[in-house]
Structure 1
Amino acid sequence: MEDELVRAMANLDEEKTLALVTERIKAGTSALEIVEKCKRGVEIVGKRYSEGVYYLSDLIMSEEIFRGVIEIIEPYFPKDVAENGISIVMGTIEGDIHDLGKNIVIYFLRSTGFRVYDLGVDVPPEKFVVTLNQTGSRVLGICVLLTFCIGSIKKVVKLLEEAGMRDRVKVVIGGYPVNQQVKDYTGADYYANDLVKAMEIFRGIASELGARAVVG
């Protein structure tokens, strides 16, 4: 049987969703678990939209509810976490203005010791490369939701190669449309389309690069 929180999110029941989130976070449920359940609910909304059951306004509503969820759980993230020495440049690729998934990942990265340079949305390939050069970051996270923007990710990787930076930069791509095929096409090192996998990847990279602190 589907979890009550997943069901409330899928049914776009904002009042019930936020009440359940408040109840669970106060009861000690981890922020990560709560976000994953809400994300499952959003995925159901997306499926209903593709089936013609929901409309565009419903998709927008699900994102707004999700933002409300983040507002509730953000104060429960660890504060004043010592940085682990790993910095990440992150943004949504050019042509795409979706940022909810990106922002959620950034919340969790910062709360576990990563320094994140958030470039926002609709980021040109050249800007990723320039920022990596300016910050000295060795990790790049690129978010995408719209499939027609995937080609721009391939361009980022090509620019890194042309700049002689590809060998030292780990490229992680994320978003609903990404999979092994997209990773291979773009030339990225890793892909993730859920928060748990994304965090595992960044923790692994931190370990590989010799983070100064244990990343929880």
Structure 2
Amino acid sequence: MKNDLINAIAELEEDKALALVREKIKSGETPLEIVEQCKLGVEIVGKRYSEEIYYLSDLIMSEEILRGVMEILEPYFPQNDNQSGTKVIMGTIEGDIHDLGKNILVNLLRSNGFKVYDLGVDVQPEDFVKSIIETGACILGISVLITYSINEIKKLIKLIEEAGLRNKVTVVIGGYPVNDRIRDYTGADYYEKDAIKAVELFKKIAAEKTKPGSVVD
């Protein structure tokens, strides 16, 4: 049953959760299905934290469980060797070293045919701009979880404008603190907190980029 993994993560039962993931892979469940179940479990953890049932250490524990889940799932994500897919740059902004959500999205995008350049974590704005120039990518995905790093995103988008690249690059931000207000403040085009929904957003952007008359990668 799907609820067993959801409950194991919600109860922070690491060994049980990882064992269930291995069982589900063997039984034929897809990584995407398993990620969705994990997401529901983490949402319960977040709710319990907001209700002061769980503590910050419990949130950190849930992230560690998810990291273990992704290590198991990574080899099982569908591989798409299409090198002509839309180019995407992904990275966690300077001052932030969180990468779990970013890593999930990178795997999902690659399995959907996107050519992803993953710059890692704590990426300086100047390095994002350099990568845009070098790769010709037309979508930039920026991950942020630490609120004080949001100013670095604003700085990055200003640098993109100064480099004359703003009309060529669609900027998507993601992470726990992002919302409409943060999107407007930074100058990003879109925001999305859910990795699975983000894939659909990236597909939509890619389709717009490939329309006649559009700037393509």
**Same topology, TM > 0.5:** yes
Q: Distance in 2 between matches of 1:39 and 1:153?
A: 26
Map of 1:31 onto structure 2:
31
Q: Distance in 2 between matches of 1:182 and 1:56?
A: 23
Map of 2:173 onto structure 1:
173
Which amino acid letter does the alignment assign opposite residue 133 of structure 2?
N
Q: Distance in 2 between matches of 1:194 and 1:22?
A: 23
Q: Distance in 2 between matches of 1:150 and 1:33?
A: 31
Q: Distance in 2 between matches of 1:66 and 1:26?
A: 19
Map of 2:3 onto structure 1:
3
Q: In the alignment, is the contact (CA less than 8 A) between 2:91 and 2:142 conserved in 1?
A: yes
Q: In the alignment, is the contact (CA less than 8 A) between 2:80 and 2:112 conserved in 1?
A: no
Q: Distance in 1 between matches of 2:168 and 2:114?
A: 18
Map of 1:182 onto structure 2:
182
Q: Does 1:123 align with 2:119?
A: no
Q: Distance in 2 between matches of 1:84 and 1:43?
A: 36
Q: Distance in 2 between matches of 1:194 and 1:108?
A: 12
Which amino acid letter does the alignment assign opposite residue 22 of structure 1?
R
**SS of aligned partner of 1:59:** helix
Q: In the alignment, is the contact (CA less than 8 A) between 2:78 and 2:111 conserved in 1?
A: yes
Identify unmatched segments of 5+ residues in structure 1: 212-216
How many corresponding residue pairs? 210
Deviation at residue 80 of structure 1 after TM alignment: 4.7
What root-mean-square deviation, in Å, do the aligned CA atoms of Structure 1 and Structure 2 show? 2.0
Mapping of residues 131-146 of structure 1, within 5 Å: 131-146=131-146
Identify unmatched segments of 5+ residues in structure 2: 212-217
Deviation at residue 78 of structure 1 after TM alignment: 1.7
Which amino acid letter does the alignment assign opposite residue 65 of structure 2?
I
**SS of aligned partner of 2:149:** helix
Mapping of residues 49-198 of structure 1, within 5 Å: 49-198=49-198
Which amino acid letter does the alignment assign opposite residue 12 of structure 2?
L
Deviation at residue 11 of structure 1 after TM alignment: 0.8
Q: Distance in 1 between matches of 2:172 and 2:127?
A: 16
Deviation at residue 52 of structure 1 after TM alignment: 4.0
TM-score of the superposition, structure 2-length normalised?
Answer: 0.88
**SS of aligned partner of 1:123:** coil
The percent of aligned pairs where both chains have the same amino acid is 63
Q: Distance in 2 between matches of 1:75 and 1:94?
A: 28
Measured against aligned partners, the alpha-carbon deviations of 1:48-81 in whole angstroms (never above 9, x if no partner) come to 3444433443333222211221122222212353
**SS of aligned partner of 1:161:** helix
**SS of aligned partner of 1:81:** coil
Q: Distance in 2 between matches of 1:166 and 1:25?
A: 42
Measured against aligned partners, the alpha-carbon deviations of 1:16-63 in whole angstroms (never above 9, x if no partner) come to 212322233333333222112212222332343444433443333222
Map of 2:214 onto structure 1:
none
Q: In the alignment, is the contact (CA less than 8 A) between 1:81 and 1:112 conserved in 2?
A: no
